[in-house]
Structure 1
Amino acid sequence: MADRRTALALTAGGVAIAAGVEGAAHAALARSRRPEVSERALSFDDGWLFQRGEGQGLEAVALDDAGWRKLTLPHDWSVEDLPGRDTPFDKNALAGTATGFTTGGEGWYRKHFHVDQFPVGRRIEILFEGAYLESDVWLNGRHLGRNVHGYIPFAFDLTPFLDRTGDNVLAVRVRNPGKNSRWYSGSGIYLPVKLNILPGGARLARWGVSAWTRSLSGGRADIALSTRVDQPDARLKVATRLRDDNGKVVAQAISPAAAQVEQSLSVRGPKLWSAAQPSLYTLETVLLDGDKTVDLVTQPFGIRIITFDTQRGMCVNGDPVKLRGGCVHHDNGLLGACSFADAADRRVRLLKERGFNAIRSSHNPSSPHLREACDRLGMFLIEEAFDAWHVAKLPQDFATQFPAHWEEVIRAMVLPARNSPSVIMWSIGNEIPDRSTDEGVKWQWMLANAVKRLDPTRPVTAGLNGSLGAPMIAAQGTARPGRAGKVDNASTIFLDIPGYNYRLNDIQRERKQHPERVVYASETFASNMVDYARLMEREPWFLGEFLWTAMDYIGEAGIGATVQLKNGTPPFGSTGWPWVNAWCGDIDLIGHQKAASLARDVVWGLSQLEMTVHYSVPEGMYEYVTSWGWPDERMSWNWEGQEGKPLTVRFYTPGDRVEVLLNGSKIGEAKVSPDKMRAEYAVPYAPGTIEAVAYRDGTVIGRRRLTTTGAPAAIRCTAEQGQWQGGQDELSYVQIEILDASGRIVPVAQDRLAITVEGPAELLAFGSADPKWTGSVKSPETAAFRGRALAILRGQGKSGRVSIRVSAKGLPDGSVTLG
């Protein structure tokens, strides 16, 4: 039996539905009709006008905006070409390496719309799921309000200022000023916008349904639910339906409407949610007037309980699970900050294929798209609120707004996500400056309490680097349960589960001082992957690690770089321009494995042997690898000009020795270092095939080959997705590969490429994983990097075939058809 009263228990998305269900309730639910407007949230993404740059009076109703650019959201102007240039990158950009040499500034959006199709009595609100950074919104010249955090949803009531019969003008000014982010943030309305058509009177509150699994026992799930109702009416009822994946109602309940309605439900034979088996139900919350549906909210949720303790670590529905996690920033590679459901799905699928089961959203609340993908596909998620509290890291970062706006950020992080089964912890900050001072500890207490008031079911955490601060003792009135009067540290005193950033050497040492702690590594270097894997195997109280980072991203340019420098030259400043992406991910910017990912496949048990070749370092030079980097290893045996020279070939394996063959002949063996699961051998280069055979206790456990390819001879285009419907929010990722005459990817190819698209689709991005590509990612021309490129297309809401053709000088065209 799992019960939150016996351990730190987490539930995400469990439904709370009343236990006592009478026949009348069943009848009312069966008869209930859909609302007069079938969609509570209507897409409001198309038909926008945009102008980049500052302006006065651009919110005016009478403004002539006929010359403004037409676009469909989401939109990020920072990844678009600068005015008058063919690149979004500027060597002199104010934020420099932090934002990958992209620029922010100011942009204006306008939209003309009518509402005469909706009943007059309806309340009409607008919901922005995210805009970076500072947003001001006007309707028909009236200022509705402002949002100052770039990663949270915000909404306004349009009703008082609407013209019910004529043209309405919505204007949005978005500003991304100064130095405000340590990574690429993008600029603009980068998430969807929804028009909410709501009842004019009593209605279900926004994010007002809170659901969690209370216990699992005897083949039954006991679930609790709390529902908030705005302007409740005594004659109304709050009804709840729980549907399985076939749409069958497996449980239901009904209660009188009130400002706060508490219900409970018992579900027999529940299908439980986990990252390995993400079973989802649909929770329907209905506000009823007799048999008429007044309001309806549906959401996916999973029934599960997660517990944490020092003896078993993290348990999901009673089963121990280790976190094999990765930190991710919010951008979607070549798309910039623009968020799409298909992009989030792809990211989660790529990570799951590489053995990841958890994501830390760094260092801001994740997009709804990513969270929903984690729920549906099975990925644990740590949501994070802040990169700074009261002390700034950058001159214009959120610390300037934190004292006045911290609470709305916490609410906007927790309330929309608290029913998501994927969410396992709430992080209140990352590497917070001055967190161990008296003021810092006070903020830690206030933030943790604010989270717990909204969701008492999940632990509060934070990413901590360096010293944890002085010993402290919390009093009975402020301490976490069971910790009153006991010694803790200033940085951890109000955290349920501390996260450690780059503190590998401190974890075991601090265990002796604080045996009560359950901890995890919230940021790790790829070079320590074996050490963390061994710690996970050995210690139940160590929950797992979150690599920095799982995937490459724009900005923090070159923090994972590997560069060759003259002997005696210090490395300072060696990773500035033209580096524009971080290059520290296991997976590159367009979705392919890098050398560190191959090594991780072995460490995490996905592979028995992987082989790479270290890029040759010329005499008089040395290789500098940053802390977040990895040696420059390639999956290639194309080394023209190196004939006869020794190349270092590396082997990753759980075996004890590796046999090395060159062109069919054995040239030697390499002994595996068990502490790093790695071996290497110097091989005089000769074109052909190098082969590795891994052994353990005399038995072959793996083979790998690398073969010298021929010259580029063809272009292969492959659409990743199986079907194409052409929907407005549908994306197609088209992989482009340069092949030799035998159909093998040429790993040194850097051919210039041109793409044409015919049919109802828009080319959103075209580029490669090259961390030093400073050209356009919106142009129909790019260059291959290590034999590969990627095109991303968006549907236009129309059916029809889409033809994609890619050309390069001296090669036959490659093509693929969608639909």
Structure 2
Amino acid sequence: MKDKTKNLAIKKLIRIGFLNLAILSADAQNISVPNIDFNFNWNFKLENNTNIKWKKVNLPHDWSVEASFDKINGEGATGYLPGGIGWYKKNFNLKPNKNQTIYILFDGIYNNSQLWLNDKKLGEHPYGYSPFYYDLSSYLNSNGANEIKVKVDRSRYADSRWYTGSGIYRNVELITKNNLHIPIWGTYITTPKVSTQESTVHLEVKVKNNFNKEEAFEIITIFLDVNGKKVAEQSSKGKLASKKEDKFSINASISKPKLWDVENPNLYTAETRIVQNGKTVDVHQTKFGIRTIKFDANTGFYLNGKNMKIKGVCLHHDAGLVGAAVPKDVWKRRFEKLKEAGVNAIRISHNPGSDEFITLCDEMGIMVQEEFFDEWDNPKDKRLNMKEKSVDYITRGYTEHFQEWAERDLKNTMLAHRNHPSIIQWSIGNEIEWTYERNAQATGFFNNMDWSGNYFWSLPPNSIEKIKEKLETLPREKYDIGVTAKKLAKWTKEMDTTRYVIANCILPSSSYESGYANALDMIGYSYRRVIYDYGHENYPNLPIMGTENVAQWHEWKAIMERPFVAGTFLWTGIDYLGESNKRWPKKGTDSGILDYAGFEKPSYHMMKSLWNEAPELYIATQNKDKSIYKTDPQTGKVVEKKIGAWEKALWIWHDVNEHWEYKQGEETIVEIYSNCDEVELFLNERSLGKKKLSDFEDHIYKWAVPFEAGKLSATGTKSGKIITSELVTPSQAYSIQLTTDKTTLENDGYAVAHIVAQIVDKNNNPVQTLNSEISFTVNGNLKVLGIDNGAVDNVQDFQSNKIVLTKGRCLFIVQSKKEVPITATIKAQSKGLKSNTITITTKKNIN
């Protein structure tokens, strides 16, 4: 009872974010202390802002997204938001204990960080996307008063081709261990044999002895199913000399396991204890899933023996108004929308993701390709994408550190993430080829590339023989792409051989011959669907998939027609900040199927109709003059103004509206994105005719309809099932309709609520053509994270409570605070419009 009481007291202190570890004296050293959330109560300031004092912040924190967009002093490559040099510091009370080892774990700092504890330098870490940790034990003050400082140098504010954020933008943990312990990332689980009847689990446990004498111990691992029920237990004994560490293996069998897959993401837990004299001195929990993956060069991808297509999207690590410091609830809302569209996989481009991001993929059943690098030996000019004319101070990125740090960053990422069942591929690089002159020239494309034409739709200009000849005769460079690829693949396989090594190749025709493809288990094509057959015929043993493709019907059609193509990752799942050079006021790239606020776009509904078996039906409209379609005077059918354009449509969906609001009699084109075999269109209950999907090679139903106010509706049938959808002409704008995804939040300082404001008429029909300014009032102790209308050309401040709407709507995000439970109300104001009130209550441990 005494130990139980002590453990409860410790857990309470951890929950409130403070723990004086001096209480863990010698008589309590056997208590296993959970990791301490170290995100709260930091101080922050920008170095060049001498007039501003330290301000209180909680982590994760991105200082760039707090600023205003700046056309003059910003760079479109990184979203027109500033960088700079920032400082963080935190005071905490922690007395060292001779029997304990204390670690601090950073999941990511962007970038070029240096750290000090009590004015003693811990080290530095240049890469912004890989996790790292330090042993604090010898740096702690004996009186318990400690101060940690972190310098973040993002003065190279155009060091990337996309928005990076700035600061300690991922989670931080303080980890207390007995001197005999399982170190950080010290377990590795594989499942060598998998079946629905019985599966074997292999657990590799690293144990470290920081005591000054040899220690004997027992390792006991209990395997728990999704309900916490014990399904297996194994143990082994070991000894370690002073200041040594070693690996120990445990094998177990699990009867009738519940496999992890995209529909049922079943997760197991391995609870591993280090026991001495009957007492637990350390405990470590590892979540894992039991599943098999296979990529076949002829028949594509298999999950648990089931042949399926990868329906994936690429995602950058920012999430609109929150920048790079993304709360888990924000990702969850976005992932839910993507899954509704049929998405089953995410490519984290072009860098390692956060542990929280990948854990959410584990929990939600989303497969992951994790990518390590966008640059290798040679730099990419961030502002002149692919035109390497200059590299100056502000554009210098990871290439500056690649030779020294690449192995550490790659292996740290894999150590931290390799137990996640969602990860199915490790990508060693993204579109690397053009940074190696010899490799680029051998293709025949470079210096002859048209981004709207020949690259996408032409076979390689040079034959295989010509490419080989060029690679043999062109001058050798300091670095060779094939040699570097082989090195990266080797490091990857030293850490894990259960996933496939892949890369996103922009010039696969030369990569096949340069040694690059030889280093891979499978090859990914970047916008090269035109050479699927070329690759399969000439290099039949290497599995193929699209790793960067456009969200268009022609892209998916090419994959469905080829069993050997494993699937695709669309560019992109969600609009992202950056890669917007000379496009002001466009702050980012709007190729996503969701916009910056997570609102669905027309391309979302097209992909949803392609990627789901259940009936789908979505109505879009456009003025005939603005439409890409016309009425054929000979047949009366709706056809493309540019015949065959659908076969070469690229990133941005053609311009359509999601409303039925035009001038009386105005000629419009109605488009319907559906997987139904047949659709009938109605205007004010009058049938405008039935049409069959088989009659539309571009997979889009079309009608020419003179506008008439009222209700435009459609009914579709698929395999006997019926689905309907409608658009209604709104009357005069009447009010602001507020909706929220949550009315109750845990008061943990993390949980968020998404408030959507939409202008509606008296009958609650959305009014999408009125874009007034709107402001929000929050009565109650909630943190306002910001506001956005989702538009790519919106350069209003994110951190605000007011905005000019787009499509009559916006998104407003609030977050709980780590304080006593409260009730808060949220209301919106706009000239001449009423608003309902949203009430949000915070509670303890609502889950």
Smaller-chain TM-score range? 0.7 to 0.9
Please list, as runs of the form range in 1=range in 2, the aligned pairs for 1:342-361 lying within 5 A after superposition.
Answer: 342-361=329-348
Name 1:750's counterpart in structure 2.
771
The structure 2 residue matched to 1:224, chosen from 193, 196, 202, is: 202
What is the SS of the residue equivalent to 2:591? Answer: coil
Matched AA of 1:458? R
Matched, 1:628 2:637: no
1:34–1:293: 8 Å Cα contact kept in structure 2? no
Kindly indicate whether structure 1 or structure 2 has the higher relative contact order, using CA contacts under 8 Å at least 6 residues apart: 1
2:133 counterpart residue number: 155
| Length, aligned pairs only | 733
The answer to whether the 8 A contact 2:609-2:673 is kept is yes
Distance 1:289 1:148 in 2: 40
Task: Identify if the C-alpha distance between structure 1 residues 723 and 300 changes in structure 2 by more than 3 Å, giving closer, same or farther.
Answer: farther
Structure 1 pair 626–145 and aligned structure 2 pair: CA distance change class (3 A): farther
State the alpha-carbon separation in 1 of the partners of residues 616 and 423 from structure 2. Answer: 32
Aligned partner of residue 517 in structure 2, secondary structure = coil
Seen in structure 2, the aligned counterparts of structure 1 residues 619 and 373 have a Cα distance that, compared at 3 Å, is closer
**Partners in 1 of 2:31 and 2:379 — Cα distance?**
46
Residue aligned with 1:457, SS: coil
How much is the aligned-residue C-alpha RMSD, in angstroms?
A: 2.7
Give the 3 Å change call, closer, same or farther, for CA 613–53 of structure 1 in structure 2.
farther
Structure 2 stretches lacking a partner, 5+ long? 1-26, 241-245, 382-394, 440-470, 472-478, 630-640, 842-847
Question: TM-score, normalized by length of structure 1?
Answer: 0.85
Tell me how far 1:458 sits from its aligned partner: 0.9
Contact 1:663 1:688 in 2 (8 A): yes
The offset of 1:336, in angstroms, is 0.5
**Residue among 289, 298, 318 paired with 2:305:** 318
Query: Which residue does 1:601 correspond to in 2?
Result: 608
From 726, 729, 737, the equivalent of 1:716 is: 737
Change in 2 beyond 3 A, CA 1:513/1:153: same
- Structure 1: distance between partners of 2:726 and 2:492: 52
Is structure 2 residue 622 aligned with structure 1 residue 614? yes
Matches within 5 A, 1:393-408: 393-394=380-381, 395-408=395-408
* Pair 1:272 & 2:272 matched: no
C-alpha distance in 1 between matches for 2:28 and 2:597: 43
Confirm or deny: 8 A CA contact 1:764 1:793 kept in the other structure: yes
CA-CA distance at 1:172 after TM superposition: 0.8
SS class of match (2:110): coil
Cα distance in structure 2, aligned partners of 1:470 and 1:547 = 22
Q: Is the 8 A contact 2:536 2:544 kept in 1?
A: no
Counterparts in 2 of 1:505-654, with a 5 A limit? Answer: 505-527=530-552, 530-557=553-580, 576-605=583-612, 606-614=614-622, 617=625, 627-639=650-662, 642-654=663-675
Residue aligned with 2:284, SS: strand
Q: Deviations over 1:50-95 (max 9, x none)?
A: 1123489xxxxxxxx99311111111111113xxxxxx20012342
Change (3 A) 1:374 1:615: farther
Aligned to 1:9: none
3-state SS in 1 of match to 2:794: coil
CA gap of 1:217–1:659, structure 2 versus 1, over 3 A, is closer
CA distance in 1, matches of 2:484, 2:121: 32
**1:203 is aligned to 2:181:** yes
Aligned 8 A contact 1:768 1:784 in 2: yes
State the Cα deviation string for residues 555-608 of structure 1 (Å, max 9, x = none). Answer: 2239xxxxxxxxxxxxxx6xx111113221111222221111111122223444
Question: Cα–Cα, structure 1 residues 203 and 655, in superposed 2: closer, same or farther, change >3 Å?
Answer: closer
Residue 11 of structure 2: aligned partner: none
* Structure-2 residue corresponding to 1:12: none
Residue 93, structure 1, aligned to residue 79, structure 2: no
Aligned to 2:109: 131
Amino acid at match of 2:177: L
Task: Provide the secondary structure at the position in 1 that maps to 2:332.
Answer: helix
Q: Does the aligned pair in 2 maintain the 1:234–1:256 contact within 8 Å?
A: no
Moved more, 139-148 or 163-172: 163-172
3-state secondary structure, aligned to 2:272? strand
Pairs within 5 Å for 1:364-383:
364-383=351-370
Q: Letter of the 1:643 partner, please give it.
A: Q
Once superposed, which parts of structure 1, at least 4 consecutive aligned residues long, lie more than 6 Å away?
618-626
Partner residue, 2:10 = none
Asked if the contact 1:464–1:491 (Cα under 8 Å) also holds between the matched residues in 2, the reply is no
Q: Is the partner of 2:331 in helix, strand or coil? A: helix
- Greater Cα offset, 684-693 or 511-520: 684-693
| Range with bigger deviation, 734-743 or 599-608 | 599-608
Q: Is 1:184 aligned with 2:163?
A: yes
Letter in 1 for 2:350: H
Identify the residue that residue 16 of structure 1 maps to in structure 2.
none
| AA of the residue aligned to 2:78 | T
1:631–1:292 Cα change, 3 Å = same
Alignment correspondent of 1:686: 708
1:430-469 to 2 correspondence within 5 Å? 430-432=430-432, 433-434=434-435, 436=439, 439-469=480-510
Structure 2 counterpart of 1:110: 89
Offset, 1:321: 2.3
Please give the alpha-carbon distance, in whole angstroms, between the structure 2 residues aligned to 1:265 and 1:224.
7
Match of 2:423, as an amino acid?
V
- Where 2:518 maps in the other structure, the secondary structure is coil
Distance 1:649 1:93, change over 3 A: farther
Cα deviation, residue 359, structure 1: 0.3
Alignment-derived partner of residue 416 in structure 2: 416
CA separation of 1:174/1:544 partners in 2, compared to 1, >3 Å: closer, same or farther?
same
> 3-state DSSP class of the match of 1:235?
strand
Q: Which moved more, 1:729-738 or 1:463-472?
A: 463-472
Q: Percent identity?
A: 31
Distance 1:812 1:653 in 2: 36
> Residue by residue, what CA displacement relative to the aligned partner does 1:413-464 show, whole Å, maximum 9, x if unpaired?
2111111110001000000034647711000000000000000111100001
SS at match of 2:421: coil
> In the TM superposition, what is the alpha-carbon distance from 1:615 to its structure 2 partner?
5.4
| CA-to-aligned-CA distance 1:702-754 (integer Å, 9 cap, x gap) | 43321111222122222203632222121122222222100122122322111
Residues in 2 aligned to 1:713 and 1:121: alpha-carbon distance in whole angstroms: 68
Residue 485 (structure 1) aligns with: none
CA positional deviation for 1:37 = 5.2
Q: Do the aligned partners of 1:608 and 1:701 also contact (CA within 8 Å) in 2? A: no
- 1:314 counterpart SS class: strand
- Specify the alignment match of 1:566 in structure 2: none
What is the one-letter code of the residue matched to 2:152? V
Conserved 8 A contact 1:208-1:229: yes
2:37 match = 43
Aligned twin of 1:249: 230
Residue deviations 1:451-493 (CA, integer Å, cap 9, x gap): 0000011110000113431664xxxxxxxxxxxxxxxx63311
CA contact (8 A) 1:654 1:674 kept: no
Residues 267-315 of structure 1: CA distance to partner in whole angstroms, max 9, x if unpaired?
A: 1111111111101111112111122112111121111121222354222
**Larger relative helix fraction:** 2
Q: Deviations over 1:199-257 (max 9, x none)?
A: 2x322122121101111247100111111112285411222111122222211111123
Shift of residue 686, structure 1, vs aligned partner: 2.6
State the Cα distance separating 1:666 from its structure 2 match.
Answer: 3.7
* Kept after mapping to 2: 8 A contact 1:313/1:541: yes
**Aligned position for 1:385:** 372
Q: What is the CA distance between 1:35 and its match in structure 2?
A: 6.6
User: Is 2:712–2:727's contact at 8 Å kept on the other side of the alignment?
Assistant: yes
- C-alpha contact (below 8 Å) 2:743/2:840 kept by paired residues: no
Following TM superposition, by how much is the alpha carbon of 1:619 offset from its aligned partner in structure 2, in angstroms? 12
Tell me how far apart the structure 2 counterparts of residues 66 and 505 of structure 1 sit (CA, whole Å). 56
Distance in 2 (alpha carbons) for counterparts of 1:771 and 1:284: 46
Amino acid at match of 1:587: L
Question: Of 134, 142, 147, which residue of structure 2 is paired with 1:164?
Answer: 142
Which AA in structure 2 matches 1:156?
Answer: Y
Structure 1 residues 782-801: aligned runs within 5 Å: 782-798=803-819, 799-801=821-823
Give the residue type in structure 1 aligned to 2:143: T
